[in-house]
Amino acid sequence: MTDCKFILGRWEDSIKNIEDGTIGMVYTDPPYGMEYRSNIPGDIRWNKNQQTISKFSKPILNDKHGDIDFEVFAKEIYRVMKPNTYLVLHCNTIWIGKNIDKFAEAGFIYKGTVAWNKRFAIGGDIHGAMKRSWEPILYMAKGKPKMRSIEVERKGQLVVRKRIDEISDWVFQLNFDERTGFPTQKPKALCSRMITMMSDKNDIILDPFAGSGTIGKTAKSIERNSISFEADEKVFNKFLKDYKEIEVKKVKEEKVVKVVKNLFSDLS
């Protein structure tokens, strides 16, 4: 039986007592350092009644430039991962230019970039730039892992493939019924494909920036264990309401490390 844990606390405090070489995959959507603020549906410009209706219309925590030390992050993530495993990062093109070298210096080997086709585009410079309906997803390796086979659609039929395309096989739109209101939520089907290709059943999937919680919850649904950290207490409190079927631990900052260590022992 697999398990899924959400921990309230910053990643720096929560990860430091996880033992070396024990995580089967790291998959996360970190803050990009761009002070992102959702304008749909919360911004009054998008609502006829002039009321903000989004629970997450405020800026994302730790999303200012320099809030996350990605040099330290890369080293810590590399430390806790098993040999021959994958790191997957949702990001944008600006973030890549600023941070990709830090992961190479930590020991990661760049393997590729998935072009996730979101099938829609929101915001941006509507007069000075083209609309961007895709986002990059970097995947890097510690050692020499191998991709697992995956089901994909070919000519209207589901077939198993050992190798798929970084562009045409990544068209996913967030379904209305899975939306939590979190501004940067990713589709469950997208997360499921990524986790299935890059980990094995019963592996521990680590998400240091839980956000909507989709990665951790998806991992459990496909027979992986997961540990997810979330620093924003308001976002975390939403887990308590929405994710009643999985275990969510609300603890004080100074107790986070002890709790994570105990949870890790339960999962390993």
Closest by CA position to 14, among listed 254, 246, 268: 254
214-221 vs 188-198: helix crossing angle, rounded to 10: 60
pTM of the entire predicted model? 0.81
Residue 184: pLDDT over 50? yes
Residues, the chain, total?
268
Residue 173: pLDDT over 80? yes
Task: For 228-256, write each residue's pLDDT tens digit.
Answer: 898 888 877 776 666 655 555 554 444 54
Mean pLDDT of 110-125: 85
Residue 65 is predicted with a pLDDT of 45
Q: Which of 88-97, 108-117, 149-158, 250-259 has the lowest mean pLDDT?
A: 250-259
Residue 53: pLDDT over 60? no
User: Most confidently modeled of 66-75, 124-133, 178-187, 201-210?
Assistant: 201-210
Residue 3 is predicted with a pLDDT of 83
What are the residues whose beta carbons fall under 8 Å from the beta carbon of 139, sequence distance 6 or more?
86, 87, 88, 89, 111, 112, 113, 114, 194, 198
What are the residues whose beta carbons fall under 8 Å from the beta carbon of 165, sequence distance 6 or more?
none
User: What are phi and psi for residue 49, nearest 5 degrees?
Assistant: -85, 0
Residue 68: pLDDT over 70? yes
**What is the domain count for the chain?**
1
Residue 96 is predicted with a pLDDT of 93
**What's the CATH number where 123 sits?**
3.40.50.150
Residue 262: pLDDT over 60? no
Q: Which of 30-34, 116-120, 159-163 has the lowest mean pLDDT?
A: 30-34
Residue 233 is predicted with a pLDDT of 81
Residue 242 is predicted with a pLDDT of 66
Range of the domain at 217: 4-267
Amino acid at 96: I
